[in-house]
Amino acid sequence: MVFKHSMTMMDFFRKSEGIWFSQRTVHRFDALDDESGESNLIVKVLEKDDQRVMQICQDHGVNPDLVTGGASFNWQDNLEDREPNPNYAAILVDIPHAQNPRLGKFIRNRGYVEGIPVVSSYQFTDNGVLTIETEYDRNQGQERCWFVNDNFRVRVSTVRMMNGVNLMAYCSERRCVSPDD
């Protein structure tokens, strides 16, 4: 029996809302630096009339009537008590496909690979796996994310430069169920 899971990007954002403890393993093919580590990922759902959503629509020249909402993503070092650094934050705004809400694009104020405004395309498989494709100025990124259960999810990503794959990453993320966690 095949598990059918119909998910939209806003469903995904809502399911992701909260604080996640993220453990990542990163393999860079062009550097000796190890970017593996632990961090907190803080996700907040933004409604379509949120000022930040409206601003990104304006910046990208997108009609706000096409969007369903968005989410803010902030990263911080694990166990850090300060507010998250805004340089490690992004706002994503969902623009679903008109006939198939499991497909679409989202616009971002800042990309993960290059810190520039960017447009990504996405799709969900029947079993709920999200695939995101992003074309940057000098790179191409692909990320896949899925929920193992409501409080545990997995992300894998690659970054390709013109000469081939430059970076691969694996993240396991566990929802923090209380502030003490």
SS3 assignment, position 144: strand
The pLDDT assigned to 3 comes to 44
Residue 157 inside a domain? The answer is yes
User: Residue 1 — pLDDT band, cuts 50, 70, 90?
Assistant: very low
Residue 105 inside a domain? The answer is yes
Residue 180 inside a domain? The answer is no
pTM: 0.86
Taking residues 136-153, report their average pLDDT: 91
Asked whether the beta carbons of 144 and 152 are under 8 A apart, the reply is no
Query: How many domains are contained in the chain?
Result: 1
Question: Taking the CB of residue 59, how many other CB atoms lie within 10 A of it?
Answer: 12
The better pLDDT of the pair 24, 181 is held by 24
Residue type, 142: Q
Provide the domain limits for residue 33: 9-175
Residue 1 inside a domain? The answer is no
Residue 3 inside a domain? The answer is no
Q: Mean pLDDT, the chain, as a whole number?
A: 85
Asked whether the beta carbons of 108 and 91 are under 8 A apart, the reply is yes
Residue 152 has pLDDT above 90, yes or no: yes
The pLDDT tens digits of the residues spanning 43-77 come to 999 999 999 999 999 999 999 999 999 999 988 87
User: Residue 6 — pLDDT band, cuts 50, 70, 90?
Assistant: low
Whichever domain contains 109, its CATH number is 2.40.128.20
